[in-house]
Amino acid sequence: MADVDTEYEVRRYYDDFSASYERERGHGYHQMVDDLEAQLVCQYARGTRALELGCGTGLILERVAEVAKEAVGIDLSEGMAQRARGRGLDVRIGNVCNLPFEDDEFDLTYGFKVLAHVPDIDAAIREASRVTRPGGHLLLEFYNPWSLRYLAKRAAGPQRIAESRTEADVFTRWDSPRAIRASLPANLELIDFYGVRVLTPFASVHRLPGFGRGLRWAERRASRSPLRYFGGFLIAVLRRRS
């Protein structure tokens, strides 16, 4: 019953969030994060059958659909999914811990900002691996406690995401590079990490005149540098073993 109640509450949270989710997208800090994530996933998505876990309103999935042979999204929230479908995208409703797909169905499975809100992370990773073919890739993003973003979140506290909702209303986990390695099943090979939001202390600094552009350039460089392990959003690049 607890799992059912948790899923219901998470669905309600994102249904409420869907109305304002894109309010800050398309410019500044949020555009930088979307661009870095999309650039990485599109390198792996070209010509593939790709699945996005927790696709939200489809901002990344829309870009993947331009290069993939087929792009499918799944999300728990009908409110989010409706907006993604409004972009002409193929989006299903479902839980990342119990994916409604066959074994080995996708060449690429990826998810941004979704696993951080899944209590049973082991089940979610197993499911992502199950639906990915042997030799296929997974790009799984985690919230990283070894980051400036973590410190900023601790300092600022939960932010409002809707009239009656704050970030405290949804479960959030933080997984270090060490914890991520330990959570991987034996059939997944860790290729590398990719860091997003490595140098940005607060999102608001991207609004400073003349500063945001230079910081975005530095963030692109840092995403693949030795500093990548300190990205607020840490993406594990994985390959499913044959």
- Nearest Cα to 231, choosing from 174, 184, 187, 183? 174
Per-residue pLDDT tens over the stretch 23-43: 778 778 999 999 999 999 999
Tokens of 159: 């932010």
Per-residue pLDDT tens over the stretch 50-102: 999 999 999 999 999 999 999 999 999 999 999 999 999 999 999 999 999 99
Residue 23 pLDDT? 77
Residue 4 pLDDT? 52
φ, ψ at 202 (rounded to 5°): -135, 145
Residue 2 pLDDT? 43
Residues sharing a CB contact under 8 Å with residue 161, sequence separation 6 or more, in sequence order:
16, 17, 20, 167
239 pLDDT tier (thresholds 50, 70, 90): very high
Q: What is the span of the domain harbouring residue 29?
A: 2-240
Residue 164 pLDDT? 72
Residue 98 pLDDT? 96
Counting Cα atoms < 13 Å in the Cβ hemisphere of 194 gives 19
Residue type, 3: D
pTM (2 d.p.): 0.92
Per the structure, how many domains does the chain have? 1
Per-residue pLDDT tens over the stretch 153-201: 999 888 777 667 887 888 899 999 999 999 999 999 999 999 999 999 9
CATH code, domain with 47 = 3.40.50.150
Residues sharing a CB contact under 8 Å with residue 239, sequence separation 6 or more, in sequence order:
135, 136, 137, 138, 188, 189, 191
Counting Cα atoms < 13 Å in the Cβ hemisphere of 116 gives 19
Task: Give CB contacts under 8 A, 24+ apart, made by 145-148.
Answer: 145/174, 145/175, 145/176, 146/176, 146/177, 146/229, 146/230, 147/197, 147/198, 147/230, 147/231, 147/232, 147/234, 148/197, 148/198, 148/199, 148/200, 148/201, 148/230, 148/232
